[in-house]
């Protein structure tokens, strides 16, 4: 009986997850902005310096700018389904003028229902730069698609960047997911770096909670009986 209850508890706990699993294509990173061409890199491509599948890392330089990007896509071994992570480092030297630059990470071919989202962005910036975060889901399944705005935060000009936002449910048989960091800079030496994680928030079903509670109550009864026998 005890083993059955333990097994039931494990099964119920395991059911408190998202309604469906993600089956995404590899994550793609992208950089664009004032006076620079758009460049992108997909996990596993020649530009990707990260050996771990599901993770992409690449660097690009254009005149006064040096950018290093890293990302981890949904449904990879490193993340839970529907999560996407974007790490970035942006440096402009003394000859750089003011500009607006966009750093993005995107995955497509996701499928399922997500009850909610939460995003956390932490980083640092200098020389009056500002950082803005946006997250999108796109029912057209377009890479870097912006069909549905999930949440946004900023812009902030604080030297220490701490942003967060949350969104409600999204469901579609095939959709893409995109994180976007927009950086606005002043002229001169500027350094901006940070990490943005967009996570799906699972909501347990009432039936699962009831069954889990029943299993836990059963374990409590067994413990009481065991204590009486040993007394």
Which has the closest alpha carbon to 27: 86, 81, 105?
Answer: 105
Report the run of H or E that residue 79 belongs to, with start and end. none
Q: With H, G, I as helix, E, B as strand and everything else as coil, classify residue 111.
A: strand
Is 180 in contact with 194 (CB distance < 8 Å)? no
Kindly tell me if the per-residue pLDDT of 5 is higher than 90. Answer: no
Report the run of H or E that residue 186 belongs to, with start and end. none
pLDDT digits (tens, 9 = 90+) for 55-94: 899 999 988 899 999 988 875 766 777 899 999 999 999 8
The residue ranges of DSSP E strands in the chain, in sequence order, are: 28-33, 36-42, 55-62, 65-72, 84-92, 99-114, 117-125, 130-138, 148-156, 160-167, 170-185, 190-200
The pLDDT of residue 23 is: 60
Q: Which residues contact 90 (CB under 8 A, 6 or more apart)?
A: 65, 66, 67, 101, 103, 183, 190, 191, 192, 193
Summary mean pLDDT of the chain: 82
CATH of domain 22-202: 2.60.120
pLDDT digits (tens, 9 = 90+) for 130-139: 999 999 999 9
CA distance 12 to 116: 21
- More confident site: 14 or 100: 100
What are the domain boundaries of the chain? Answer: 22-202
Residue 28, classified by CB atoms within 10 Å of its CB into exposed (0-12), middle (13-18) or buried (19+), is buried
| CA torsion through residues 69, 74, 75, 78, sign | positive
């Amino acid at each position: 009986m005890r083993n059955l209850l333990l097994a039931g508890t494990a099964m119920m706990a395991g059911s408190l997850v998202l309604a469906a699993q993600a089956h995404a294509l590899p994550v793609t990173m992208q950089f664009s902005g004032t006076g620079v061409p758009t460049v992108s890199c997909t996990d596993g491509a020649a530009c990707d310096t990260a050996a771990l599948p599901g993770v992409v890392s690449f660097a690009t330089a254009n005149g006064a700018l040096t950018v290093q990007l890293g990302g981890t896509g949904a449904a990879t071994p490193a993340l839970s389904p529907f999560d996407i992570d974007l790490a970035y480092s942006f440096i402009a030297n003394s000859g750089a003028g003011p500009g607006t630059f966009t750093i993005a990470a995107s995955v497509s071919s996701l499928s399922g229902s997500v009850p909610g989202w939460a995003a956390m962005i932490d980083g640092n910036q200098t020389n009056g730069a500002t950082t803005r975060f946006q997250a999108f889901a796109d029912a057209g399944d377009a890479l870097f698609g912006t069909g549905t705005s999930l949440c946004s935060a900023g812009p902030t000009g604080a030297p220490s960047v701490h942003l967060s936002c949350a969104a409600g449910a999204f469901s579609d048989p095939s959709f893409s997911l995109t994180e976007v960091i927009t950086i606005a800079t002043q002229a001169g030496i500027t350094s901006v770096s940070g990490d943005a994680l967009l996570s799906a928030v699972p909501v347990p079903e009432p039936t699962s909670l009831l069954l889990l509670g029943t299993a836990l109550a059963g374990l409590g009864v067994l413990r009481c009986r065991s204590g009486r026998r040993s007394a």
